[in-house]
Every structure is written in structure tokens, then in C-alpha cells.
Amino acid sequence: MARTPDRSPGAMIEDEEIRFVSNATGPTVAGAFNYNGTEFVMRDAVGTFNPRSSASAFTTSGTSVETSFTASFPAGLSGSLTRLADGTSYLIAGTNVTITSSSNGSITISSTHGIVGALDGGTGLSALPSNGQIAIGNGSGYTLSTLTAGQGIAVTSSSGSISISANGNAPQSIVLNDTATGTTPKVMGSVYFASARTLSASSTAFMGGSLVGDVSCLQLAPESSGSAIATWQKTGTLGSQTLTSGGTVSAAGWYDLVLQCTSGSGVAFCKGLYLI
């Protein structure tokens, strides 16, 4: 025999099933009901609540009834999630960055390719460098340029490399400042040639005799042996004298500088030699 529940005021509710039935189609359920003079309030404390959703539960605290539930979205979501609650964007594009939001909720972040200036860590250059070109500061940015060889230096540029070396054919200035008495040859010093070369006719010796009629002779010859390969001959006192004859250096090596007074009784002087 079924027991009739006591619904008198102040009585405990036992073995009584209370059902909430709603045909609402809106996203939120909120309301209240009165049972034997006691008001019970039902509110959606989590967010959007679908009364037709399964996995819904009710918990009581005093006279309040609150909902907790797990929501599912079988049909998926659509829209662009790019803004915070206050309307500002939570994804902010930096320099040269683009943010694109699609209607399916995807977000694409891309970087635009451009010329990066010197102040931003780049070069500010749009042209491709040729062989041997490097970026050289010009006071406001960079300029593509190659290295310039100085005296006695050779610069060779190739793909991806720059070679710097001594130039065997570069002009050479030689300080001698020595004398030779009479017709006796005197080795004043030696000069090294890094490779075979032909001396220019403008190669000049600063030489001369002690007397106006003296004939002074300076010769370049292979070290310790061999015939002269270049000769400077001057009549008169100290002055400039360009190459008189010869000038072909056939191979790399050391060559002697030999001075003598070939005519007259004076002294031959040679203070320097400039080889071109």
C-alpha cells in the first residue's frame, strides 16, 4: 500500500521525486517554485543551459536550486574568436604581421616579406650583391661595394669569397743611400720579386756621380750570379734616372742591386729606387 507523503508545513520531504519539465527552447532556464510555503529558486549558474541536454544535474544549498552541466555542441561552432569581452582584440599584429580570422573560427597569422631597415636589424638593401660585394656603412645605412686594393695589395673576388694577398707586381720603393768608389762594383742590397714581371720604363733610380763627368751605373742582377737584367745609367751628378735598358724579371726570387762608377775618378751615389 502506497504511503501518502506528509505535506504539512514544516514537515520533511522524504521519498518524494520532484521533476522539472520544460519545453523551453531558449538558451537559459531560470525561475522559482513554491512547495508547501517554501520557495525554491532555480537559476543557471554556469552559463548557457539547454533543459533538453542530458548530463544535467541539480544541487541544493539552503533554499536555492542551482544547475551544473556539461554542454556539447554536435553541430560544431562558427564565428571568429578574436575579441575580448570588452571588445578589444586579444591578438594584436606586430610589425609586418597580419592576423586573419575566418568564419569557421580559424585564425591565420602570417608575416609579410619586405625590406628590413638597418635600425630594425636588416640592411635596407633590395639589390643582390655581385661577387665580392659586401654591405659597407655609409652614415645613414649600407651600400654594396667591393674592397679596394692599396699599394702592394691584390684583392680577388669570387663567388662567396674575397682573397687578399700581396701583389707581386705592385710598385716597390727601395731606400739605398749608398756609394761606390771608382769602377769597382758594389752590391748595395737585394730586392725580392714574388713572381715574374716586366719592369716599366718609368722605373726610376735616384743616382749620380760626385763629378759632372762621372758616369754612374746601377744594375739589377740575379743574386750572386748571372748577367744584369736591368740597367740605370746616368752621366753627371745626383738626379733622377729612368730605366736605361732591360727590365724583364724571368722568375720569382732575390735580385742584387749593384752600383759602380764606370767612367771618371769620382764616387757613384744611389739613394733610392722606385720599381714599377
Task: Tell me the domain boundaries of the chain.
Answer: 31-69, 172-275
With vertex at residue 249, the alpha carbon angle to CA 245 and CA 253, rounded to the nearest 5 degrees, is: 135
How many angstroms separate the CA atoms of 266 and 60, rounded? 132
Query: Using the 8-state DSSP alphabet, how is residue 18 labeled?
Result: -
Assign 9 to helix, strand or coil: coil
pLDDT of the residue at 35: 59
The total number of residues shown for the chain amounts to: 276
User: If you ran DSSP here, which 8-state letter would residue 109 be given?
Assistant: E
pLDDT tens string 171-214: 888 999 999 998 889 999 999 998 899 999 999 999 999 999 89
Residue 254 near residue 191 (C-beta atoms within 8 A): yes
Residue identified by cell 529558486 is 41
**Amino acid at site 269:** F
Q: Are 176 and 228 spatial neighbours (Cβ–Cβ below 8 Å)?
A: no
Question: From CA 86, how far away is CA 109, in angstroms rounded?
Answer: 22
pLDDT band at 5 (very low <50, low <70, confident <90, very high): low
Share the mean pLDDT of the chain. 77
From the list 88, 59, 91, 56, the residue with the least C-alpha distance to 72 is 56
CATH of domain 172-275: 2.60.120.380
Burial zone of 155 (CB within 10 Å; 0-12 exposed, 13-18 middle, 19+ buried): middle
Within 10 angstroms of residue 242's Cβ, the number of other Cβ atoms is 14
